[in-house]
Structure 1
Amino acid sequence: MDTKDTGLALKLAVEAGDLQQVRRLLESGADANFQEQQNGWSPLHSAVQRDRADLVKLLLAHCADPCLRKHNGATALIIAGIEGNVQVLQLLLDAGADVNERDLHGFTALMEAAGRGHVEALRFLHSRGAQVNMARDPPTERQALRQGGATALMDAAEGGHVEAVRALLEMGAEVAARDLRLRGALEHALLKGPEERAEDTVRLLLHHGADVNARDAEGKTPLILAVEKRRRLGLVRLLLEQGHVDLDSKDHEGRTALQVAVELGLGEVARLLCHKGARVDYCDLVANAINNYDNDLARFLLGQGAPEPAPPPTPTWRPRSLRWGRALSRLHGSNRKLINKLKICPDKEYKIADTPGGGVYLGLLEDQEVAVKVFVQGSECAGRELSALKSGQDSSRLVTLLACESHEANLYVCMTLCEWTLEEFLEHRPQPAQGDEDKWARQVLHSVFEAVRELHLQRAHAHQDLQPQNILIDAAHGIRLADFDQSVQLAEPAKVTQAVRTDLQALGRLVVYMLLKGDVPFEQLSAMHHRKVWRLCPERETRDLTRCLLTPQQAQEHPLGSLLGHPFFWEWQSRYRTLRNVGNESDIKRCNLRGAIVQLLRLEPSERSLSFTQWTSKVDSCVLGQMNNFYKNKPHLCYTDSVQDLLRFIRNIGEHIDEDCNREMKARLGDPAVYFLRTFPDLLMHVYKRLQHSEFRRHFPQLPLPAGPGVLEMEVPGGQALGADP
């Protein structure tokens, strides 16, 4: 047998409790420190778990390592704490185990013994130097969720092990210690202690000075927790016997112990609290009792001075949202308990979208319609979302943070309610005819580019999850960027970092997605190599823009701000006007071959395949002949196949085509903007590339797109115009 086989045989023999077989294997050279692959158990771990001191002693004598850890970081000593065998604990400590060693979740042997009520083991470990007040130190991701920080005393109290609690207190355990959720041993006993032993545990802790008015991370006192967990009346009475208990303390949701008791239908507890002097002159105590069909309690509360329930609201409220109006009306009329000022019902009927953390739901914030994104309180995703939303002033390009509310372990982030995602809207909008200009797509993309630019430069964040589902359309027809739970903060907003490049590459794919009308799913585009994405681009301007966005070197040279002026965003008439304006330069009109602009526009030998290299053979011959007739007496000005002559030709056509004498010419060409842009699809990009860093860029449009609402005015599912008033 090889080493692995003998090690496995040794572990199996230990698990079977076969002392003689274990001895034979060890004497024949079996590895006492063999560990199985799945969880890292060794023979020593198994011997301790089976509470076999004889096997433990034999293994240690054959060099078993008492400090060897399982995959979860547990050592044999920590497992021995679970079993509580003092003899085994002594063997391990004498062999060199550290009495205060922790597993990966922060547990020590003392904590494990306390959680199971092993009093003798506790006393022994303490005598060997175990730290009674050591707090659990879990991994960072669990600390972010406020998990951890508990002590052995809290573990003993949670298990209802009264004698273990007593022993730890005698050893100097701090009854005032708090875990990361700011809960002490008293709160642990109230929340999870076994019913039959909870009162004895609580009484002992109170006797040793546990603070009956302490507040946890949610603002709850021990009294609120005792009521909330529906404990026996005797346990609540025990807390009330403390003369200094604050009956009217409120948690972070503004609820007192009495309010919790009424909401949960705990009539006896509510009556006891009232008899002890709890206030009844606030909130809807009577209405809550009636909703629970407890009319006796409602009458009792009225007799104690509680106000009459408020009359039902008048039916004047109307939803503004067309898409979500019916669901919002039902939510408004429901009796859902408010979370401070927020009404939300986390049911499928009110869900807007799924998220990894919990979903996005419809909500009402003091009757204002909101979208509510639910997170685990303290999670990294929640922190990233809030960091991005709080990083600057309100913006019409990003969803607006309206409020944050917390309840139990959840955080509710209230934001602008929008009607559609871009993906949903694109499925229903009427598409332009083949070959026609898609102004709507360019306007949407321009708004998205502006939003991302603001996010990068003004808010110093990169989105990291740009996709059609995260681009929303609000009721005012505006585009809003949303979902920042994957965002990262930028140390240098103006620098093109990897995080910024990720956003730019997503924008490049979004451009192609929009112009292909969503026919290729965004997920498929995201998986493609950028060269394959370029090949899908329907025109030269799109291809150049996506190359600038998808290629890291190009992204470094073309920051997002400069790309907002890219010809892609120019409407066709603006593109045509640019060509005319360039053709109106004096050096071009006068055919000055030495002019600066003529030199800049000159074709290189490698560019002979461009569509306009022999342009005179591609334009309408009758129109070209008619235009050359103007130069019968100046043959040197007749049009040739040069770039400058084509631009001069375009300029002259534009200046004279609407004259009465040129009606036939106009009939042949149609709209000159469409004619020239389709005939020479790469001319504009040639002009742009050659002139963009020169003085002649003055001919480029300065405001490529109009701003403001109205861009999305169209019919949507159900025959309603998006954003129209109900």
Structure 2
Amino acid sequence: METKSPNNPQERPTPATNGRASVEDNKLLIKATKKEDIEWIQQLLKKGADVNFQDEEWGWSPLHNAVQSGNEDIVNLLLNHGAEPCLRKRNGATPFILAGIAGNVKVLQLLLPKVADVNECDVHGFTAFMEASVYGRVEALRFLYNNGAKVNLHRKTKQDQEKIRKGGATALMDAAEEGHVDVVRILLHEMGADVNARDNMGRNALTYALMNSDDEKVKAITRLLLDCKVDVSVRGQGRKTPLILAVEKKNLGLVQMLLEQKHIEINDTDNEGKTALYLAVELKLKEIAQLLCHKGARTDCGDLLAIARRNYDHDLAKFLCQHGAIEDFHPPAQDWKPQSSRWGEALKHLHRIYRPMIGKLKIFMDEEYKIADTSEGGIYLGFYEDQEVAVKLFYEGSTRGQNEVSLLQSNRTNSNVVTFYGSENYKGSLYVCLALCEHTLEKHLADHRGEAVQNKEDEFARNVLSSLFKAVEELHLSGYTHQDLQPQNMLIDSKNGAWLADFDKCIKWTGDPQEIERDLEALGRLVLYVVKQGDIPFERLKDLRTEELIQRSPDEETRDLIHHLFFPGDNVKAHLSGLLGHPFFWSWASRYRTLRNVGNESDIKTRNANGRILQRLQPQTSELSTSFAQWTTKIDKFVMKTMNKSCKNGNVYQDTVGDLLRFIRNLGEHIYDKRNKKKEENLF
């Protein structure tokens, strides 16, 4: 093979005799490979130059340079002298990956036996196969495919890049973007490339194809992709659909091609709320605008008439008028303010942009407006009759979706169930519109974890669980069971109000007690979950035995409530009605009033040890009585001293249940006396 000589013969070193080489010789070896001077390379290697030396700036080695130039003889020479084919440049590219770019099959054949993985990639996720696709190297592409290269491998990039949704592209997307028609055809028809694979931004090969500037190549590749049933509803940068991108390219033929597709969404909008028709009018594309109108594009997508007139296109304005364009179009008010604080910014954007209405519903199924994922279709922000809503999606005919709507419609009077506004059916999807809340119970507790309620009344736990009990009680009394009670299905609004949601697993009660008992047991776990502020994951609580749940309860009221939920007795349907009066749900003020009333009984005031009340309240010897043991030492010393002075005949308060009740009663009766003002201040 003919090789090039250095421009300056004096740069050639003389043949080495001692087998040693300097750093300068190493640099000269890289220079020699760039110049493809095989004789000079041999001299430097004989002198001892490091065959795997890399330059400081970008990490190029002699083998990297030889592969880039495609010189098979030099590649073979370097390999025979120990050159490493997996040595990485600063960007992680190996000589083998560079060989995919160069496209020299003979070089690839030399390197492949020395490479551990044909799918090795650089730091940006590019493999040799992907590089061959990017540069249109057909023969290299076939060689790599026949030797195990993965056709549908998604590009794995750096973690910080993934966080901003970079990466994830495939070889097909690369070829489509670069306009390599033959490569796209080979990938689709010979290698089985996935035509609907998506990158981390959700784009597919069609979106990439529309990025190319050569209209003829774009049309050829688009036709190949459409013939393979590519999804025409995907979105590119700015959430633009392929149809919108085709309009922006001002290509009538491409627009026609896309409009022929069965599942094209002609009225879809981009992030700015612009439809394909709006853009066509804005870009003065009369033929495309007329074609879109003939194909059924809606003309209420903005002030189209004003735009056409501003462009001095009277004919287009007249045409739009004939197709229903609104003369006095009024865009949404700019000063509109959302009710929700958490979802406020997204709601303002959704309110501002144009979206074709689905009945009474305005929705845009985009990540910006997604609230949560579900097993069937996700939950999105929306407006139903101008009311902010959460929209739960199901496929049309979904049993779960039908269950949800059926139960919500029949439980509209249940004041503790999330408000149901209505539902819409459109193109195979069911949209269930519900009151928009700020967080799930799980998220709320996670956000407030560590905000201790020690020595304070936990009103949030009591109110949330009270609402939950009432919601489930009404559900049971109306003949339904929830079957999926968990923290994600309890919603918290901006005022910390709690609402039961997610009824897609609900069933009509058949009379089997176990159906209701499953709800009651789930409530028992939720009680401990809420009282513990979510410190114990709900999934872990499911694995605990009943005895363990009860033991983990922080106080007697919680223990007793959970016990009643796991052991409901015979009347399971109405069981929750009785539990709503349980002391767990009493406020501290109501607990105090109850104890004060008991302390006012004559047996307590007279210290009648044989009285019925004291007999029932006195702890058994087998029970722990730590709640009442030495209670006098737990009261403020000044208050205790003052109260003892009030006792007749020096009969001071003792560490008994009866005396504790007397103390509470007497404190309540006399705390507001003027002479007890200091007592009041010390106590509160």
Q: Scaled by the length of structure 1, what TM-score is found?
A: 0.52
Matches within 5 A, 1:103-502: 107-119=126-138, 121-122=140-141, 125=144, 129=147, 134-138=151-155, 152-162=171-181, 164-165=183-184, 172=190, 177-180=195-198, 185-190=205-210, 192-193=211-212, 195=213, 197-203=214-220, 206=223, 210-211=226-227, 214-218=230-234, 225-228=242-245, 230-233=247-250, 235-237=251-253, 240=256, 245-246=260-261, 249-250=264-265, 253=268, 259-263=275-279, 265-266=281-282, 269-272=285-288, 274=290, 278-279=294-295, 282-284=298-300, 287-291=303-307, 294=310, 296-297=312-313, 299-300=315-316, 302-303=318-319, 305-309=322-326, 336-338=353-355, 340=357, 341-342=361-362, 364-369=383-388, 416=435, 443-444=459-460, 446-448=462-464, 460-462=485-487, 472-474=493-495, 479-480=497-498
**Which residue among 645, 656, 675 is the counterpart of 1:643?**
656
Question: Residue in 1 aligned with 2:543?
Answer: none
**Is this contact kept in 2: 1:157–1:165, CA < 8 A?**
yes
In the TM superposition, what is the alpha-carbon distance from 1:158 to its structure 2 partner?
A: 0.9
For 1:343 and 1:365, the matched residues in 2 are separated by 9
In the TM superposition, what is the alpha-carbon distance from 1:598 to its structure 2 partner?
A: 3.4
**Is this contact kept in 2: 1:111–1:151, CA < 8 A?**
yes
Counterpart residue type for residue 642 of structure 1: D
Q: Taking structure 1 as reference, are residues 13 and 613 closer, same or farther at Cα in structure 2, changes over 3 Å only?
A: same
**Which residue among 619, 625, 636 is the counterpart of 2:642?**
619
1:92 aligns with 2:111: yes
1:578 aligns with 2:595: yes
Residue-by-residue CA offset, 1:616-656 (whole Å, 9 max, x unaligned): 9623466322xx59xxxxxxxx555232452353476489x
Q: Taking structure 1 as reference, are residues 55 and 293 closer, same or farther at Cα in structure 2, changes over 3 Å only?
A: farther
For 2:609 and 2:234, the matched residues in 1 are separated by 79
1:60 is paired with a residue of what secondary structure? helix
Residue-by-residue CA offset, 1:476-516 (whole Å, 9 max, x unaligned): xx63589x9xxxxxx9996899999997665799xxxxxxx
* Structure 1 segments unaligned to the other structure (5+ residues): 1-5, 354-360, 378-385, 406-411, 422-436, 485-490, 510-551, 630-637, 658-663, 682-726
For 2:55 and 2:499, the matched residues in 1 are separated by 51
In the TM superposition, what is the alpha-carbon distance from 1:554 to its structure 2 partner?
A: 5.5
For 1:250 and 1:580, the matched residues in 2 are separated by 70
Task: Give aligned-pair identity as a percent.
Answer: 24
**Is this contact kept in 2: 1:175–1:184, CA < 8 A?**
no
In the TM superposition, what is the alpha-carbon distance from 1:116 to its structure 2 partner?
A: 1.9
Q: Scaled by the length of structure 2, what TM-score is found?
A: 0.54
1:155 is paired with a residue of what secondary structure? helix
Counterpart residue type for residue 89 of structure 1: L
Q: Taking structure 1 as reference, are residues 76 and 575 closer, same or farther at Cα in structure 2, changes over 3 Å only?
A: farther
For 1:455 and 1:44, the matched residues in 2 are separated by 72
**Is this contact kept in 2: 1:397–1:450, CA < 8 A?**
no
For 1:621 and 1:556, the matched residues in 2 are separated by 29
Q: Taking structure 1 as reference, are residues 623 and 230 closer, same or farther at Cα in structure 2, changes over 3 Å only?
A: same
**Is this contact kept in 2: 1:11–1:46, CA < 8 A?**
no
RMSD over aligned Cα atoms: 7.1
In the TM superposition, what is the alpha-carbon distance from 1:134 to its structure 2 partner?
A: 1.7
Equivalent pairs counted in the alignment come to: 537
Q: Taking structure 1 as reference, are residues 225 and 417 closer, same or farther at Cα in structure 2, changes over 3 Å only?
A: same
For 1:315 and 1:16, the matched residues in 2 are separated by 65
* Structure 2 segments unaligned to the other structure (5+ residues): 1-19, 34-39, 372-379, 394-400, 425-430, 441-454, 473-481, 503-517, 537-550, 564-579
For 1:297 and 1:248, the matched residues in 2 are separated by 32
Residue-by-residue CA offset, 1:443-502 (whole Å, 9 max, x unaligned): 4453356579999997554569x9xxx96535xxx63589x9xxxxxx999689999999
Q: Taking structure 1 as reference, are residues 231 and 494 closer, same or farther at Cα in structure 2, changes over 3 Å only?
A: same
Question: Residue in 1 aligned with 2:618?
Answer: 598
In the TM superposition, what is the alpha-carbon distance from 1:92 to its structure 2 partner?
A: 0.8
Question: Residue in 2 aligned with 1:522?
Answer: none
Counterpart residue type for residue 180 of structure 2: H
Counterpart residue type for residue 609 of structure 2: C
Higher RCO (C-alpha under 8 Å, 6+ residues apart):
1
1:117 is paired with a residue of what secondary structure? coil
1:265 is paired with a residue of what secondary structure? helix
